[in-house]
Amino acid sequence: MLGRMPWLFVVGSVVLSAASVSPGTAKERAASAPFKYVAGTQKLPEGCQGSLQVGDRALNFICPAGSVSVPYTAITLMQYRPEVSRKVSKMKIKWEVKPPFGAPLITGKKNRYFVIVYEEQGRTGGLVLDVPPLTMRPYLAEIDLKSGKRVEVKEFEEYD
C-alpha cells in the first residue's frame, strides 16, 4: 500500500499543475470573460464578451471584436442596476445597439447592468455591460477611486 502512495502523489501533482495552465488563445479566454456588451454607441456585436480594465485615466472594455475606451473626465453617469434606468432611457443617446429598456426583469433583485454615459466630441455616448454581481463587486471601489466619481448602485434590503 505504501508503495502506491508516491505514484498517487505524482499523478495528483501532474493533474493539479495541468489545471493551473490556462489553455487556449486570447480569443478563447475572452469568450469566457464575465463582461458582455449589451448595448452602446459603439459598433460592437451584441453579446461580445470581454474584460473591463480600470486604467489610470480611462475604463477600457476589450472583447475579440474591438474595444471601447472611456476617459474618466468624459463620464457623466455610471450605474449598476438590475435594469437600465428610466433616467438613461430619457437621454437623447444615439444607440448603435439599443439597451433592453422596459424589458422584464429576469434577475429579480440582483444588479446586472453596468451603464456608463459619457460626453465625446460634443455628443453623448453610452456603454451597457452585463456583469454578474460577484464579478462587479471588486470593481466598484476601484472605479470610484480612480474616476473620482460614484457608481450609482441600486441597493436591496432583505426583510424577515
- C-alpha closest to that of 80 among 152, 131, 157: 152
CATH architecture type of domain 24-153: Roll (2.30)
Q: What are the boundaries of each domain within the chain?
A: 24-153
16-54 pLDDT tens trace: 333 333 344 444 444 457 999 999 999 999 999 999 999
Task: Identify the bridge partners of residue 54 per DSSP, sorted by sequence position.
Answer: 59
Per-residue pLDDT of 59-85, as tens digits, reads 999 999 999 999 999 999 999 999 899
How do residues 109-157 score in pLDDT, each as one tens digit?
Answer: 688 899 999 999 999 999 999 999 999 999 999 999 999 999 999 876 4
Q: Model's pTM, two decimal places?
A: 0.75
